[in-house]
Structure formats: C-alpha cells, structure tokens
A and B are shown apart, each in its own frame.
Chain A
C-alpha cells in the first residue's frame, strides 16, 4: 500500500534491498570482529568453517523461502530480493571453501584431494559448491535474457544444491544431529509450501 507523499514501490524495493544487503553483511563483519579481538575460541579455524558454512546454508534456505513468501503474501516485490540472497549464499559458500583450503589445509592440495575423495561428506559439499558456480555466473540480467526458458531449468539446480548441502551437514556431525535436522526440517517445510502452487499451475 502507498500513502500519499510516501515512497514509490520502486524506491521501497531499493530500500528493502539495501536493508537485506546490510543484514547479510553482519555475519561476516562479526567474524572479522571476533577474529581481531581473539574471540574465536580454542579452534578458530573450525569456528570460521562452521560459521561460514552455516550462513551459506541459511542464505540458501532464505532464498528458497522467497517464492513461498510471495505466494502466501501475494506481494510480488519479494522476488526482487532473491538474487541478492542467492549471491550472498554463494559468497558465504566461497568463504567456507576458502577457510577450508587456506586456514584448514594451508593449500596442501594433495591432502585436500585425498580429503575430498576419501570422505563422502567433503565430496558432497564440494559438489554442492561446484553446482552453485553456474547459478552465480548466470545471475545477471544478460544471462537471464540470453538463456530465456533454459535459465529457469538451470536454476532449478538450487534444489539439488540444497539437498547436497544438507547431506554435507548431516554426515559431518559425529552423533548429535539436532542442528542439521532443524535445517532439513526447514527445507522440507519450504518444499511443502511449494506443492499447492505447482499443482495449481498444472
């Protein structure tokens, strides 16, 4: 709704984007703050890996929440936030991998390759990241125009990325699976909210 003299819809979308962008930046700023003030705990590398991985997953789920939110609220402008959120997911996923290859393995590539090949959870995580690269690369307007209908098909990869990322989390936990279970539940819920919409389209 728009009150007389208030901002235009286009403006409110830009404001929403700015707010979302700044909010997405906070976890990264927090990591730097904790790092510089020596508050990352006894195993700071694990902390950074955990934190960036968790935030990548959170942004993935938030971007998957946009469509159900639009459908339920009937407000189309929510879609305008989706690319930004998806790209932040990609950014945190890249930081997660950077923490792994740099801080954890100090670019010891033979060891990294061994770790990926031998440990299913690492392999699954690495696959999830690889699949996000084409998504991030085709997130611009030009790619959307050029790929036309295929763009949508390509971007359905995000569901596979989500499944792989959740499996990565589930398998890495030693025994207490409460935390990954919560994320899996959120994902299932978000998928369930899509069902009625899919049916109504057909």
Chain B
C-alpha cells in the first residue's frame, strides 16, 4: 500500500491503537459480505482508483471531484479516533484524511442545504455482497449540516499512514467519531446537499433500531445490544468490557444537540 504524506495531530495521542491486523480483518462492510472477515477476503477485486466524487444537489454548481483533487483541498492529517460499533465493540484507529468541512467549503452549498447525503459505491461486479438484497443498495448515510461542518468530522483516505485498504472503505470514507460506526459511509461516490432529512440505509432496514442521528449514547439502549458498555477489540479472551461514554467521549459535540431529546432522536 502507498504511504501518504500527512501531518501528525494531537487527536487521540493518549489512546492505545487497535492493531493494523485487527483494523483490517474485522470489518462491517456488507457490500463485501455480512461476515466480519468477508471484506478482507472479498474486497480484492474492487478498484479504488481512478475515483471521482459527484458533488450535487443544493450547491452553486454541480461538479465532480477526483480523488487527487480531494486530497489537495486541505493538508492530510493523522487523527486517532475511537470507533464504537453499534454491535457493542470498539477500536482505536489512526486515520489519515481531511476535515469534511474543507470539501463543503469548496462545494459551496446554497442556503437550501440543510443535510448532507453520502452515497457509497454499488458495483455488483466487484462487490459480491451487493449482489444480494440484504440492504437497499447503494448504501446511503447522512449528516445534518452542522454535524458535517464539525471539525471532528473527517473524510479518511488512509489509516496507519497508508492508503485505505479496500475493506476499510477505500478510496475515501466518512468518519464521525461520536456516532456509531455505521454512520461512516465507505467508498463514497457522491455527496449530495439536500433540504430535508434523508432516509438512510439502516433507517430503512430497521427504523426501530437505527435512527438518523445514531450518536453513541450509553443511556439509549438498542433492542439487541447493550450500549452501556463495549468490548475493545484486541483485548483477547479475557480483556472484558469498558463503559461506553456519551458521544463516545467527544463531549465537544454536545452543543450540537442542546435542547434535543436524544431518546427520541436516537
């Protein structure tokens, strides 16, 4: 994998990283299969280059952005973020990428842009899971505009200093560290600015289980999984669990939701 040029940052310096082996072999990426080890095995046919992202919807002018252009919108930074999966496990990943804000500034959304929609690649030829009607393809995720502009929100193009492996969402994916992992759309092909809250893929698949916000919240339980604690990956058989923190520990985002009933808007 190609090494990237990037700046180190203070984000997550104190965290213990999940091993590269675990980060790249234990993935939820249903386009490559529903098993955790499927993506690492099945993603080799997928071609992340050349790549272009469509910028569309409520913008001054619809346009297309190549991967090379994207990587020049802002200096690449390394950010070590905790990732909390809705299934109750977590990792710490050193991403390389740029703030989504840089792309939004470049895209020049109009006043009608209240939400941002991220549409993932859907190529049944190279994505065996996308041949099955497991989810309503393509995978769609979304953020409210202020969430998208939050400095933590990252477009990742790499991890562990190198270009993103296919199974982790190459060539470019979203990382929103205070939300459950599924909010981070992978292999993004278009970014659309819209006026109304979009229906995301998981909201369609299970409206009772997955809401639009999907903020990590130990007080709002999932019908299937305990959300008050999590199992850090890499702890081995006897590593146990740790308590899950509100907003996955990223308290600074709390102000985005002031006055909102987070039990209702889960």
Contact = CB atoms under 8 A, between A and B. Distances in A.
B and A form one assembly: yes
Interface of A: 35, 40-46, 48, 103-106, 108, 111, 114-115, 118-121, 171-172, 174-176
A175 B134 contact: yes
A103 B234 contact: no
B231 interface: yes
A174 B30 CA distance: 11
11 contacts: A41-B26, A41-B37, A42-B21, A42-B26, A43-B89, A45-B231, A105-B241, A115-B226, A119-B225, A175-B34, A175-B134
B205 interface: yes
Contact of B233 (A43, A105, A118, A174): A43
B195 interface: no
Contacts of B25: 41-42
Interface string B115-142: 0000000000000000010110000000
Given A111-B228, A114-B226, A175-B34, A35 B89 contact: no
A20 B243 CA distance: 43
A173 B223 CA distance: 12
B238 interface: yes
Contacts of A42: 21-22, 25-26, 36, 233-234
Taking residues whose C-beta sits less than 8 angstroms from the other chain, chain B's interface range is 20 to 34
Main secondary structure of the interface of A (DSSP, over half): helix
A121 B223 CA distance: 9
A108 B230 CA distance: 13
Interface of B: 21-22, 25-26, 30, 34, 36-37, 87, 89, 132, 134-135, 205-206, 221, 223-226, 228-229, 231, 233-234, 236-241
Contacts of A115: 226
A106 B34 contact: no
Contact of A40 (B87, B89, B237): B237
Contacts of B21: 42
B90 to A, nearest CB: 11
B212 to A, nearest CB: 18
A165 B180 CA distance: 29
B237 A44 contact: yes
A175 B241 contact: no
Contacts of B237: 35, 40, 44-45, 48, 103
A114 B22 CA distance: 29
B245 to A, nearest CB: 16
